[in-house]
Amino acid sequence: MPITPATATHSSSNGTADAILLELVDEDGVTIGTAEKLAAHQPPGRLHRAFSVFLFDEHGRLLLQQRALGKYHSPGVWSNTCCGHPYPGEAPFAAAARRTYEELGVSPSLLAEAGTVRYNHPDPVSGLVEQEYNHLFVGLVQAALRPDPEEVGETAFVTPAELMERHATETFSSWFMTVLDAARPAIRELTGPAGW
């Protein structure tokens, strides 16, 4: 696994781990400050910048990931290909590409912006809140996946019909349908007649 700011162990001069900071934004997505990651997700949540990636294979199937059981937020649930938060000052596009590689061990062969969506989704299990201004990206994956087991439990490529079947019987992230619906116009443009 590559060592990056997200995976490296950082220690400050007093021996404690450095906090991961998120970029706080206003309702228009303009940066207004920073907050520690966990604190930004404590109720009622603080609006912060995030991203969601939807990658597809050559058959128009969506790559889903099941979040690893060790994650503090929404462990074990299915969600879109990759999601996360840019570091303060990091472009959302760069963050999306970086985290896709860190989590899945693959770089998208195509990655394009697909708009933004703002939402507020409490997670009933953890009690945390996703209060996010989310940048959406769609793209293609053509290389073999090498998921990081600390981030990803399982992966699956699904057709629209398979997704609906899974969504009815398995647990998905609280934000999944919101980001999928917001990205659908760009997904349809990318996948053509695949049915999305």
**Residues forming the active site:** 83, 132
Residue type, 106: V
Residues whose CB is less than 8 angstroms from the CB of residue 160 and which lie 6 or more positions away in sequence, other chains included: 194, 195, 196
> What is the C-alpha to C-alpha distance for residues 94 and 38, in angstroms, rounded to an integer?
22
Q: What is the DSSP letter of 23?
A: E
Q: Where are the alpha helices (DSSP H) in 7-53?
A: 37-41
Please state whether 144 falls in left (phi above 0), alpha (psi between -120 and 50) or beta. Answer: beta
Q: What is the DSSP letter of 37?
A: H
Residues whose CB is less than 8 angstroms from the CB of residue 117 and which lie 6 or more positions away in sequence, other chains included: 134, 136, 178, 179, 182
State the residue for tokens 């439990």. Answer: 153
